[in-house]
Amino acid sequence: MTDQLPHRLRSDALDNRERILDSARALFSAGGLDVPMREIARRAGVGPATLYRHFPTKQLLIADAFADQLHACRVIVDEGCADVDPWRGLCLVIQKICELHARDRGFTEAFLSAFPGGPDAAMVREYTVKAVAELAQRAKEVGRLRSDFVLDDLILILMANKGIHATSTATQITASRRFAGLVIQAFEACPQHAPLPPAARLAPTPPQRRSR
């Protein structure tokens, strides 16, 4: 019985940590990073002391909550940079990064946040910006990216993409894909007007008139 107790305590602690992270992801995704820590604790079914025992600061909680997305972001950038066609690689980065951020509003805020979310978050953000800048320069050199593109345009894309609000995640992703298609056409030096992805219904459906 004594041997089993420490194992059970460790198991309970891990369960609490996972519930906290799951609750934080859900609340950050729905309401952004301004969600109070006490609300996260309440949703996870733990007390504030338990929450702060696992995550002494909100920044650490944010970094751990979005660790998978940060890794995915770096993988996307690496994939785009590895393409022998820099324009195609840049298009891939824009498309996949927009979709990644469309799935989680909280991640966009964490990525763009001025305050540090932990060393890993800052490192990935710095790596992403530098890698995309180099990829964009290569795309300009081959004449596919318009010459007046600047790195701040990438931040503008993410900020605009974050503003997409839909009734479901699937609709939000559909809208984000179309937005990425429009952005790519706007950035191309000599637009070829490839077909855009399907549009998403974002405007409310007008009320039907009742027949008399």
Of 35, 65, 95, the domain-final residue: 65
113 and 43 within one domain: no
In this predicted structure, the answer to whether residue 142 has a pLDDT above a threshold of 90 is: yes
Structural domain count of the chain: 2
105 and 126 within one domain: yes
- Residue 196 or 22, more confident: 22
143 and 100 within one domain: yes
Does 203 fall in a domain? no
Does 200 fall in a domain? no
Does 162 fall in a domain? yes
Compute how many other C-beta atoms are within 10 angstroms of the C-beta atom of residue 153. 14
**Amino acid letter, 154:** L
Q: CATH no. for residue 171?
A: 1.10.357
What is the pLDDT confidence band of residue 31, given thresholds at 50, 70 and 90?
Answer: confident
**Residues constituting the chain:** 212
3-class SS at 145? strand
Predicted confidence at residue 9, as pLDDT, reads: 46
Of 50, 65, 80, the domain-final residue: 65
- pTM for the model stands at 0.79
Domain limits for position 38? 9-65
pLDDT digits 0-9 by tens, 181-194: 999 999 999 877 67
d(C-alpha 93, C-alpha 206), whole Å:
36
165 and 80 within one domain: yes
pLDDT, mean of residues 126-155 = 92
Predicted confidence at residue 167, as pLDDT, reads: 84
87 and 178 within one domain: yes
Q: What are phi and psi of 35, to 5 degrees?
A: -60, 130
- Residue 115 or 202, more confident: 202
Compute how many other C-beta atoms are within 10 angstroms of the C-beta atom of residue 66. 29
82 and 40 within one domain: no
